[in-house]
Every structure is written in structure tokens, then in C-alpha cells.
Amino acid sequence: MKKNNYCTIYLVRHGECEGNTVDRLGGDTQLTSKGKLQALELGKEFKNIDFSAVFSSKLLRAEQTAQLIIEGRGLSVHKVENLRERHFGKIDGQPVAEYIHLFDAVKNKPDKEHWKLKIVDDMESAQEALTRFSKVLREIVNAYLGKKILIVAHGTVMRALLVSLGYCSFRDLPAGSLKNTGYIKLESDGDKFFIKETKGVEVRGKERENL
């Protein structure tokens, strides 16, 4: 396939939300004032990008971020369930501090084990989350080949995607490595994905920009 038929995807993590400020797992909380400003600033950075379509997960923080990034453009945000954050099961929305010992116990596991690990039985594994996330990404890409699209999603699924594409290991990209409104610029032919640029992604404490 000719490169000009590739879809260019700007995959963005949502702005700071209320859940981030109190360190809670998942949940569905709205943006803070800081998060709204972050989204507006990213909108300025993206002002010269001609997006053909805009998507977000159905979680409020992602939808709000997408709306603010495209403010004044006359575009609509298409909300898609499978762009959501990793599902944490019975600990969804609970304080991270109460379960940090469980996360610490698995954070240095090798990638081949990390993909299937679950802190509690009814949460999604990283592989399960990536599978449903990648499926909808491919569906979107195939509908917009040759176009530029904006997708606002969540840190854990974006992290899994980066690891799957060989960016680095889970160990080198721990939870929290993707900053609010950090993004990954990708190109795709509808099958394979290629990382063209990252911003707001920290690997072992050092931010990597413009990969």
C-alpha cells in the first residue's frame, strides 16, 4: 500500500481528571481545571492538523478532552466503548494506596508474564485490554485510510500498545509513564501500526520526545 494511503492517528491520553488527583483506579470522573487547560493547550498545538474525524472512549474525562482539543472546529466526537480504560473489576474506582502492594509485587515481572497478570480475578489483563483496543483501532483506521484522525483514550491501554509495538518493556514503562495529554503519533495501513512520534511519554524517568 502506498504511504499516502496510510491513516495518521494522534492517540492522546485524557487531561488531568479528579480521579488522578486522589490516585484512584479507573472510575469515571471529569476533568479538573488543570485538565481542561491541558486539553486547550494541546488543541493549540494541533491547530494546523486537519482531522477528518475525532473519537474518544465513553468515559467523561476522555470525551471532555476531545471536545476541548477540537473546540471551534465544528467537528463531533464519536464515543466508542472499546477505547475505554482497562477494566479493574471490583477495585475499579478504589484508592491506589490500598492495592499498591499488589501492584508492586508484579511490576517487575517479565513482559511474557505481565501480559496475563491480574491483580484481582475480575479485572482485564493487559492482553485482554489491548486485544479489544487494537480491534477498534483497526476498524477506525480502515474507515479513514489516507486521513488524519484524533483519538482520546487512556494511559493503561496506550502503554500496552507501546509495549506491543516494541517501544520498550512494561518494566521500563511503568504505570503513570504517560502524562496527561501526552500522545502517540501513529501511521497505519489498517493492519500494522508504526510509531512516528511520542510526546509526554517517560521511560525510566526520562521523557522521550519525537521518536
Q: What is the pLDDT of residue 208?
A: 46
Q: What is the pLDDT of residue 205?
A: 53
**Is 205 contained in some domain?**
no
Please count the structural domains in the chain. 1
**Is 200 contained in some domain?**
no
**Is 201 contained in some domain?**
no
**Is 82 contained in some domain?**
yes
Q: What is the pLDDT of residue 23?
A: 78
**Is 210 contained in some domain?**
no
| CATH number of the domain to which 116 belongs | 3.40.50.1240
Query: What's this model's pTM, rounded to 2 decimal places?
Result: 0.92
Q: What is the pLDDT of residue 3?
A: 60
Q: What is the pLDDT of residue 99?
A: 73
Q: Which residues of the chain have pLDDT under 70?
A: 1-3, 205-211
**Is 162 contained in some domain?**
no
Listed as own residue / partner, the contacts of 128-135 with beta carbons closer than 8 Å and 24 or more positions apart are 129/86, 129/87, 129/156, 129/157, 129/160, 130/157, 130/160, 130/161, 130/164, 132/82, 133/82, 133/83, 133/157, 133/160, 133/161, 134/161, 134/164, 135/82
**Is 197 contained in some domain?**
no
**Residue range(s) defining the domain that contains residue 179:** 3-157+168-192
**Is 54 contained in some domain?**
yes
